[in-house]
Amino acid sequence: MKEKTYVEDVDRSMYDFRNEDKDAYKVKEGLNPEIVEQISSEKHDPEWMKEFRMKSLEIFNNSTMPDEWGPSIEGLDMDNIVTYVRPNTHMAAKWSEVPEEIKDTFEKLGIPKAERESLAGVGAQYDSELVYHNVKEEVAAQGVIYTDMESALNGEYADMVHKHFMKLVPPTDHKFAALHGAVWSGGSFVYVPKGVSVTIPLQSYFRLNAPGAGQFEHTLIIVDEGAYLHFIEGCSAPKYNVANLHAGCVELFVGKNATLRYSTIENWSKNMYNLNTKRAKVEEGGKIEWVSGSFGSHVSYLYPMSILNGEGASAEFTGITFAGKGQNLDTGTKVVHNAPNTSSYVNTKSISKDGGVSTFRSSVVVNLSLIHI
């Protein structure tokens, strides 16, 4: 008789530690125009973003919850979610300037060590704001821009942000895209100039410490013609006896003959509802490579999407999902072929244990009207 393979549970001890809640400011639970206005004021939004947030809130209020789509999210009540929590610190470019307790959190997660040994730049977010952001001088000297979203929105890259922000994932896409548009905070902005190859990865890490809170970071990456980038995203949170929510958004623009590898290791706590949206648009001869590991969350809806918009564009998706006790993880990918001679490859594996549920759903769409076979 063939022996069964025994798979150990994921050891969450390195993620489930928590710090005392010492936020400097937080909005009230729930979602209404006053809360969205408070967030916009805290972020010093330009006028167009203020209007964008309020329009997104209107779309959210007029949208229905996903009906019989995936796992139940009945335990998620927006009236109990705090959508913005500002930690008691400002963003620093040196770890020595980060408050000791927060720095210790990221030390336990191995982020400063990874930066010293194998990364070209790091952004570290704690609750709703980045507390650390830095990029190596030799990478910046190549013209690579790696900064927080708020600095990009209000600085010299404001026009670029305005042109691309939530164009791939509009608030009308689904209810939680609208929620993101209304309350987003934090995240990273990356621009890799034409012909530049970033040979060492950049990484952003998102840590949610506050109980009953949501995290809504926005990641916007533009890889110009003939350029290359590997970007790593990590995330975790301690476990609480209340629901937490993650509804981030990732928008990736891959230029002609450019390549972007986007790697994610997701270790959210088992009280987390992970309703994240990720999407890439790839131009002629370009390539998007997704590497996705889903190991945490109580419930996940996660389906990175690739839009192959130019001839010869390609996409690869490699995913692994582990669903243990109390987890229901609904994951997959979508590829849209909008041009001739495009190609896609999807390879996923999943493990379910102790009643955990892992569901794989994916879609490959070939737009014949645009391909002209």
**pLDDT value of residue 8:** 73
Residue 177 CB neighbour total at 10 angstroms? 23
β-strands 363-366, 314-323: how paired?
Answer: unpaired
What are the phi and psi torsion angles at 367 (to 5°)? -85, 90
Give bridge partners of residue 234 from the DSSP assignment: 205, 265
The backbone region for 354, taken as left when phi is positive above 0, alpha when psi lies in -120 to 50, beta otherwise, is left
Q: In what order do the strands lie in the sheet with 299-302?
A: 214-215, 244-246, 272-275, 299-302, 328-331, 357-360
Whether the Cβ atoms of residue 189 and residue 152 lie closer than 8 Å to each other? yes
Task: Note the pTM of the prediction, 2 decimals.
Answer: 0.95
Using CA atoms, how far residue 116 sits from 122, 136, 182, 226, in Å, is 10, 10, 36, 28
| Nearby residues of 206 by Cβ (< 8 Å), 6 or more positions away | 125, 186, 215, 217, 233, 234, 235, 236, 248
Q: Kindly state the greatest CA–CA separation across the chain.
A: 69
Per-residue pLDDT for the chain (373 aa), expressed as one digit of tens each?
556 666 677 776 677 777 877 778 999 999 999 999 999 999 999 999 999 999 999 999 999 887 777 899 999 999 999 999 999 999 999 999 999 999 999 999 999 999 999 999 999 999 999 999 999 999 999 999 999 999 999 999 999 999 999 999 999 999 999 999 999 999 999 999 999 999 999 999 999 999 999 999 999 999 999 999 999 999 999 989 899 999 999 999 999 999 999 999 999 999 999 999 999 999 999 999 999 999 999 999 999 999 999 999 999 999 999 999 999 999 999 999 999 999 999 999 999 999 999 999 999 999 887 765 4
Do the beta carbons of residue 152 and residue 191 sit within 8 Å?
no
288 backbone φψ class: left, alpha, beta (φ>0; ψ -120 to 50): beta
Rounded-to-integer distance, Cα 350 and Cα 362, Å: 14
Structure tokens at 28: 């009230």
Helix, strand, coil shares of the chain, percent, nearest 5, are: 20, 35, 45
Please provide residue 333's backbone torsions phi and psi, each rounded to the nearest 5 degrees.
-160, 165
Residue 134 in any domain: the answer is no
The answer to the question of residue 300 being in a domain is: yes
Does 92 fall in a domain? no
The answer to whether residue 68 sits within a structural domain is no
Q: Residue 4: what pLDDT?
A: 61
Radius of gyration of the chain (CA): 20
- Note whether 84 and 38 are within 8 A (CB): yes
Number of domains in the chain: 1
What's residue 70's pLDDT?
Answer: 86
Beta pairing, strands 121-126 & 129-135: antiparallel
- Give the integer Cα–Cα distance in Å for 188 and 184: 12
Query: 149 is in which domain, residue-wise?
Result: 40-62+144-371
In a domain, 103, yes or no: no
Would you say residue 113 lies in a domain?
no
Phi, psi of 86 (to 5 degrees): -95, 120
CB distance 192 to 222 below 8 Å: yes
Judge whether 5 lies within some domain: no
- In contact, 269 and 239? CB cutoff 8 Å: yes
Q: Is residue 14 part of a domain?
A: no
